[in-house]
């Protein structure tokens, strides 16, 4: 097994095996065209290397249920026979049920994240030295900034999964490393992004790059998320973090390149297919390039006539998991209109049979027989950014602009506008709006953790006690291979039993 923090030049060249061309974002290229003395010669090589780093990250998401762990760990689902998802929903991340299907135990292993980081590190190191007269200084800086953005995003994702992680920035450093404190990791990435985000393009001329390549808006959104995470774990700097997040959110909005698209039965799937005007950052899935995915929420919350039901549940008309009535009543109060409830759900309370409810938000199914899906992994979108900024403003006591932002989201959904006061009531309303708007996009668990609501049994079915939280039960256990291969790696306290 490769030691996770050892990176050698030969290994890094080999990591570009999955690199892709700049025009065909998911076209796999053979290793001998991407490594060796003939590589790193021109702009095209640099584009291939950047795309290869994206592809390595995509491979991490394709191997398991990683994308939706943030939706499943809080609970609020009827799990029925899905033992692996039920294990997530009771925080049983070491038992045998978790790995019983769908690769649900693989988020414990951070190897692939570090492979993608290694590729990004190599891009940062090698692209500036490419001697190609047609490769302008502006283009070089943009690609290096994109690699820095991608590296920062991976570290942010890892911090939310594992807490402290080894920080590797030098592609040739072969020293094993202990885990760096998560706030140190985030501060390092924030400084990196502050220094490079201006080099990123606001948008791309090529529409196939929309949202699936790093942009200034994506970097600013990532920074806002980092500050909101820091606010939850660095009490002395909360005010500063909220101020930074609010200001970064304003910068994204001022770019003028993102829109809230209409929620209609005819059009809403455009958003969740990907590359829409609402998308800020996504990982690209496209059946046209042979990339589709099985272990996504769509597989378990849909049935005939959209996909073939697993095991012919109720004659094909049963979903494998369904939302609990208690949760639906919490985010969609009875008697209040909301387009999202109308268009994202079919028979939400399972009146036709015990498992007939469907959650239609992600229903862009590429193959109903194999239950595969080829729409993008939506990581950041405009509605998320608007609500994140509203949250920061609410914590700062700037109630009027916070309410205005909250009502932008509610108005788009045809929901009752918020007319209450500020303080805790407004903060709670924004949290629930994020839970409603972003459910199925992997945010809920992390929102619960960073706000401390994960310790409130009324807001999190799989709640943690204060003692469990402090011992980092909110993290994932680190794969024992990393612990065995690197004596400086110490398991998260809660999982070291």
Q: Residue 287's pLDDT is what? A: 67
Decide if pLDDT at 181 tops 60.
yes
172, 187 in Cβ contact below 8 A?
Answer: no
Both tokens of residue 328?
A: 């639906």
Look-up of token digits 């009027």: 400
Helix then strand then coil, in percent of the chain rounded to 5, is: 50, 5, 40
372, 285 in Cβ contact below 8 A?
Answer: no
346, 360 in Cβ contact below 8 A?
Answer: yes
Question: Which stretches within 292-419 are classed as H helix?
Answer: 297-301, 325-331, 339-344, 382-395, 399-412
Instruction: State the number of CA atoms in the 13 A half-sphere of 98 facing the CB.
Output: 22
Q: Residue 3's pLDDT is what? A: 34
Confidence at 16, pLDDT banded by 50, 70, 90: very low
- β-bridge partners, 377: 283
What gap in Å lies between CA 241 and CA 393, rounded to an integer?
A: 11
Q: What is the mean pLDDT of residues 159-170?
A: 98
Both tokens of residue 29?
A: 């290229």
Decide if pLDDT at 7 tops 50.
no
Confidence at 290, pLDDT banded by 50, 70, 90: low
Look at the alpha carbons of 451, 456, 458, 462 in this order and tell me if their dihedral is positive or negative.
positive
Which H helix or E strand runs over 4?
none
- β-bridge partners, 282: 378
Both tokens of residue 118?
A: 């290694």
Please spell the DSSP secondary structure of 140-189, one letter per residue: HHHHHHHHHHHHHHHHHHHHHHHSSB-----TT-----PPBPHHHHHHHH
CB atoms within 10 A of CB 235: 9
Both tokens of residue 399?
A: 């109630």
Confidence at 25, pLDDT banded by 50, 70, 90: very low
Confidence at 342, pLDDT banded by 50, 70, 90: very high
4, 93 in Cβ contact below 8 A?
Answer: no
- Cα 379 vs. chain centroid, distance in angstroms? 4
Q: Residue 30's pLDDT is what? A: 33
- Does the N-terminal peptide bond of residue 305 adopt cis geometry, omega within 30 degrees of 0? yes
Pairing relationship of beta strands 345-346 and 377-381 according to DSSP bridges:
unpaired
Determine the 3-state secondary structure of 50 from DSSP: helix
Confidence at 309, pLDDT banded by 50, 70, 90: confident
pLDDT (tens digit per residue) in 356-380 = 999 999 988 888 888 888 789 999 9
Decide if pLDDT at 32 tops 90.
no
403, 418 in Cβ contact below 8 A?
Answer: yes
DSSP-derived secondary structure letter, 436: H
7, 173 in Cβ contact below 8 A?
Answer: yes
Decide if pLDDT at 387 tops 70.
yes
pLDDT (tens digit per residue) in 237-264 = 999 999 999 999 999 999 999 999 999 9
Which H helix or E strand runs over 29?
none
Q: Residue 195's pLDDT is what? A: 98
The share of the chain scoring above pLDDT 90, in percent, equals: 85
Decide if pLDDT at 218 tops 60.
yes
pLDDT (tens digit per residue) in 91-132 = 999 999 999 999 999 999 999 999 999 999 999 999 999 999
Is 16 or 118 the better-scoring residue by pLDDT? 118
Mean pLDDT, the chain, rounded, equals: 91
Both tokens of residue 42?
A: 């021109």
Residue of 161, 151, 126 whose CA lies nearest to 140:
126
Both tokens of residue 14?
A: 């080999």
Q: What is the mean pLDDT of residues 156-163?
A: 98
Cα R_g (the chain), whole angstroms: 22
Confidence at 289, pLDDT banded by 50, 70, 90: low
Decide if pLDDT at 182 tops 80.
yes
Q: Among 124-133, 275-284, 286-295, where is mean pLDDT lowest?
A: 286-295
CB atoms within 10 A of CB 427: 17
Decide if pLDDT at 475 tops 80.
yes
What gap in Å lies between CA 271 and CA 361, rounded to an integer?
A: 10
Q: What is the mean pLDDT of residues 5-32?
A: 36
In this structure, what is the dihedral angle of CA atoms 386, 392, 398, 402, given to the nearest 10 degrees?
20
pLDDT (tens digit per residue) in 50-80 = 999 999 999 999 999 999 999 999 999 999 9
Confidence at 489, pLDDT banded by 50, 70, 90: very high
State if pTM tops 0.85.
yes
Decide if pLDDT at 14 tops 70.
no
Determine the 3-state secondary structure of 60 from DSSP: helix
């Amino acid at each position: 097994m490769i030691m996770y923090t050892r990176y050698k030049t030969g290994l890094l060249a080999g990591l570009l095996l999955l690199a892709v061309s700049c025009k065909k974002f998911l076209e796999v290229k053979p290793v001998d065209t991407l490594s060796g003395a003939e590589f790193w010669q021109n702009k095209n090589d640099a584009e291939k290397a950047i795309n290869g780093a994206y592809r390595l990250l995509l491979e991490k998401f394709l191997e398991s249920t990683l994308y939706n762990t943030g939706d499943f760990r809080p609970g609020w689902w009827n799990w029925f026979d899905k033992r692996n998802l039920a294990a997530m929903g009771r925080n049983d991340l070491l038992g045998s049920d978790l790995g019983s299907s769908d690769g649900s135990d693989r988020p414990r292993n951070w190897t692939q994240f570090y492979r993608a980081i290694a590729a990004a590190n190599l891009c940062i190191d090698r692209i500036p030295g490419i001697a190609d007269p047609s490769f302008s200084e502006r283009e070089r800086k943009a690609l290096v900034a994109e690699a820095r953005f991608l590296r920062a995003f991976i570290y942010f994702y890892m911090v939310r999964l594992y807490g402290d992680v080894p920080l590797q920035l030098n592609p040739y450093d072969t020293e094993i490393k202990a885990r760096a404190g998560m706030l140190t990791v985030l501060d390092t990435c924030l400084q990196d992004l502050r220094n490079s985000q201006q080099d990123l393009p606001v948008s791309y001329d090529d529409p196939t790059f929309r949202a699936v390549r790093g942009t200034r808006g994506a970097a600013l959104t990532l920074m806002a998320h980092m500050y909101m995470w820091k606010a939850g774990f660095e009490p002395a700097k909360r005010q500063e973090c909220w101020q930074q997040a609010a200001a970064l959110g304003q910068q994204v909005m001022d770019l003028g390149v993102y829109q809230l698209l209409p929620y209609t039965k005819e059009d809403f799937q455009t958003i969740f297919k990907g590359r829409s005007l609402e998308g800020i950052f996504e990982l690209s899935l496209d059946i046209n390039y042979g990339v589709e995915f099985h272990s996504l929420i769509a597989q378990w919350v849909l049935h005939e006539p959209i996909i073939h039901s697993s095991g012919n549940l109720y004659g094909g008309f049963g979903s494998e998991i369904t939302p609990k009535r208690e949760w639906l009543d919490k985010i969609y109060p009875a008697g209040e209109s909301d387009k999202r409830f109308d268009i994202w759900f079919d028979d939400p309370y399972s009146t036709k049979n015990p498992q007939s409810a469907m959650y239609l938000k992600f229903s862009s199914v590429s193959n109903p027989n194999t239950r595969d899906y080829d729409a993008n992994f939506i990581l950041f979108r405009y509605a998320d950014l608007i609500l994140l900024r509203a949250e920061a403003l609410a914590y700062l006591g700037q109630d009027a602009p916070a309410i205005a932002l909250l009502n932008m989201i509610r108005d788009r959904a045809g929901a009752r506008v918020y007319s209450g006061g500020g303080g805790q009531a407004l903060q709670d309303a924004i949290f629930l709006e994020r839970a409603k708007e972003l459910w199925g996009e992997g945010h809920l668990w992390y929102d619960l953790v960073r706000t401390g609501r994960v310790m409130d049994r009324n807001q999190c079915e799989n709640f943690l006690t204060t003692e469990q939280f402090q011992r980092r039960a909110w993290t994932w256990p680190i794969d024992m291979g990393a612990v065995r291969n690197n004596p400086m790696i110490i398991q998260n306290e809660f999982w070291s039993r």
